[in-house]
Structure 1
Amino acid sequence: MSIVNLPSFRVLGVQTRTCNADEETLKTARLPLLWHDVYTELVPELPADAPVYGVYGGYESGQDGRYTVTAGAVHKPEKCNLDLVEVTVPSGQYLVFTGKGKMPETVIRVWLDIWDYFKREDAPHQRAFTTDFEVYRGREETAIEVSVHIAIR
């Protein structure tokens, strides 16, 4: 885990609104379909070394409320049939958690670590619940690197 100060940047992608409770069952989960669309329609059109982003924002009430997820990239490929929206990741201070391995298990494990970290009474940082984001690097399903950036106060 590390702390970084980042400038703002934009991400173009597809978007949905959900909550963690909805994501616990396949019947109500929206994120698998969102990521499926990104990895079948957008990612094949990106350069092999281009990172893929998941941007979390519009938090209603902390980690248990509704939030908006935008999955995409910093550049729009020439060939893309998806209706993309643009979001801006604001500049600021982020606490970064990382993992590498098979998806989605690895990113789930990283988020569990994040939630455990912020549950601790002695955690030196507090989540801002403004904008958080994931960065995925690599295309090999069993060796994707993910870094999750959590906005802190």
Structure 2
Amino acid sequence: MQTIHLPSFQIFGLQTRTCNADEQTLKTARLPLLWHDVHTELVPELPPEAAVYGVYAGYESDQDGAYTVTAGADQKPEKCTLDLVEVTVPEGNYLVFTAKGKMPETVIRVWLDIWDYFKRDDTQFARAYTCDFEVYRGRVETAIEVAVHIAVK
């Protein structure tokens, strides 16, 4: 885990609004369908080395409230037929958690580690709940690298 300061940048992708409680059951989960659409329609049009992003913004409150997720890339492929939205990841300070492995198990484990980290009494940072994002690198399902960037105050 490390802290970094990043400039703002744009992501083009598909978007949905959800909350962690809804994502706990298949009946109400929106993220699996969002990611399915991104991986079947957008990712094949990207260069093999292009990163894929998950951007979390529009937080209603904290990890228990609603938020908007945009799944996409930092480039807009010409051949993509999806109606992509453009979001800006704001400049700021981010605490970065990383892992490599099979998805989605690996990224779920990283988010569990993040929630545990911010529950601890000795946590040095406080979440800003402005904009968090994931960066996925690689296309081999069992060896994808993920870096989750959490905005901190």
Please tell me whether residue 101 in structure 1 is matched to residue 90 in structure 2. Answer: no
What is the CA-CA distance between 1:43 and the residue it aligns to?
A: 0.2
Task: Output the amino acid matched with 1:47.
Answer: P
**What is the total number of aligned residue pairs between the two structures?**
153
Please tell me whether residue 22 in structure 1 is matched to residue 46 in structure 2. Answer: no
What is the CA-CA distance between 1:17 and the residue it aligns to?
A: 0.0
- CA deviation vs aligned residue, 1:26-77 (integer Å, no higher than 9, x gap): 0000000000000000000000000000000000010000000000001111
- Where 1:148 maps in the other structure, the secondary structure is strand
Paired residue for 1:33? 33
- Where 1:124 maps in the other structure, the secondary structure is coil
Report the identity percentage: 78
- Where 1:36 maps in the other structure, the secondary structure is helix
Moved over 3 A (4+): none
Give TM-score scaled by structure 2 length: 0.99
Distance 1:59 1:129 in 2: 6
- Where 2:17 maps in the other structure, the secondary structure is strand
- CA deviation vs aligned residue, 1:86-132 (integer Å, no higher than 9, x gap): 00000010000001000000000000000000000110000000000
Unaligned runs of 5+ in 2: none
Paired residue for 1:124? 124
- Where 2:123 maps in the other structure, the secondary structure is coil
Paired residue for 1:148? 148
Unaligned runs of 5+ in 1: none
- Where 2:36 maps in the other structure, the secondary structure is helix
Distance 2:44 2:144 in 1: 15
Distance 2:103 2:7 in 1: 28
Distance 2:87 2:121 in 1: 33
Paired residue for 2:57? 57
Paired residue for 1:83? 83
What is the CA-CA distance between 1:81 and the residue it aligns to?
A: 1.4
